[in-house]
Amino acid sequence: MIPYPKNKSKFELQAELFFALKNEGFSVRGEVSAKNESGKSMFDLVVFVDGKAEIIIEVKNSPHAALVYGKQTKQAKKYNSYGLAVIYHTSLHSIEETVAKVRKYFNGY
């Protein structure tokens, strides 16, 4: 017997956020790979404008990640080296909160 999961998986969080952003009209892609001087990276979600990456979104399914993501982890430093906005989405955030952050980023232009 396979037990029903108690928590959402990272995949489920990514999928829900992906479709919410798509429904808002954003050009978002998942599992985007890139390489720079810091090495190779695989981003959970990336928001593009006219084919140009604007926002990296890192999804964490652990609520404990909320305590860590603001710190300068190796991953955070690597992502910041791309010179793009980085938004972290954890299971503590609602989809609406994260979509609002993306909207706010573009309204700031």
Residues 45, 30: contact at Cβ < 8 Å?
Answer: yes
**Coil, strand, or helix at residue 109?**
coil
Measured torsion, CA atoms of residues 49, 54, 58, 59, in degrees rounded to the nearest 10? -30
Which long-range contacts link 48-54 to residues 24+ away (Cβ below 8 Å)? 49/106, 53/82, 53/84, 54/84, 54/85, 54/105, 54/106
Give the tens place of pLDDT for each residue, 58-105: 998 876 665 565 566 788 888 888 999 999 898 777 899 999 999 999
Task: Indicate whether this model's pTM tops 0.75.
Answer: yes
Domains for the chain: give ranges and CATH numbers: 10-100 (3.40.1350)
pLDDT at position 18 is 97
